[in-house]
Amino acid sequence: MARARNNIARLSFEQRMTVAEMLANGATYDEIRDVVKSDKKLHGRSFLAYQNSEEYQQVLQAMRQSNKRFLKKRIDAFTVAEAQGVESVVKLTEAILVEQLQEFLSEEPEDSEDSGQANISDMSKAAGILSNLKKSQAEDVKRAAAEREAENQAKIAQLSATIEAQSERLRNLAGGVDGAAVADAMNKKLGITK
């Protein structure tokens, strides 16, 4: 039986990098064909052969290393952009842990059983951390809501006192003036009533 032809290997470097990036990001073969215009036929076997190639594995490794390098910068940028403090960091951490879990699940297991156990152990630890973060986040949200409620109640009490003081001041200024009689006199003067 003839070996499968890897027509992707015959594409330009830029096109191959586009294919590699799109494959790594989960694009379908049809989506890749639409983006990478080529006179070469890009069959499913070509994609499979390319995914097994050393070049594609090197691109994946480089992408993983790049993601790890920029992780701290992503956290810092997200925190600054959102400016919401702990809640934003918790949300970002949760998203990163989910990404890492997906990465664990997508990696092909090595031959040894110990490595499979290590991955399961790592995933269990990550799931435990994620669970603790969610509990902590819920507690933080409850605490922040209680603080906001206390602040709002204090503001309401302060405003009520201010309104009462202003009402008392108006009553003192008005003295014994009958407000209804004044309103009737103004209505007659303006011709609203006779």
Q: What is the mean pLDDT of residues 139-151?
A: 82
Q: What is the mean pLDDT of residues 12-21?
A: 88
Distance CA 138, CA 146 (A): 12
pLDDT score recorded for residue 72: 64
Question: CA dihedral defined by 21, 23, 29, 33, rounded to 10 degrees?
Answer: 10
Among the listed residues 52, 50, 62, 41, the one whose alpha carbon sits nearest the alpha carbon of residue 16: 50
> CA of 70: how far to CAs of 61, 64, 100, in Å?
14, 10, 14
In sign, the C-alpha dihedral spanning 14, 20, 22, 27 is positive
For residue 70, pLDDT beyond 70: yes
Higher-scoring residue by pLDDT: 193, 4: 193
Type of residue found at 64:
R
DSSP 8-state secondary structure symbol assigned to residue 194 = -
Tokens coding 11: 């594409």
pLDDT score recorded for residue 1: 45
* Residue 142 pLDDT class (50, 70, 90 cuts): confident
Percent over 70 (pLDDT), the chain: 68
Q: Which of 20-24, 37-41, 79-83, 155-159 has the lowest mean pLDDT?
A: 79-83
Q: What is the mean pLDDT of residues 48-56?
A: 88
For residue 29, pLDDT beyond 70: yes
pLDDT score recorded for residue 85: 57
* Residue 5 pLDDT class (50, 70, 90 cuts): low
Distance CA 30, CA 26 (A): 12
> CA of 85: how far to CAs of 71, 80, 144, in Å?
18, 9, 12
pLDDT score recorded for residue 182: 82
For residue 45, pLDDT beyond 50: yes
Q: Distance between the two ends of the chain, CA-based, in angstroms?
A: 110
Higher-scoring residue by pLDDT: 27, 111: 27
Residue 182 phi/psi, 5-degree rounding, is -65, -45
Spans of all domains in the chain: 1-69
Q: Which of 38-42, 54-58, 82-86, 149-153 has the lowest mean pLDDT?
A: 82-86
Residues in the chain: 194
For residue 158, pLDDT beyond 90: yes
In sign, the C-alpha dihedral spanning 144, 93, 19, 51 is negative
Distance CA 170, CA 133 (A): 55
Average pLDDT value for the chain = 77
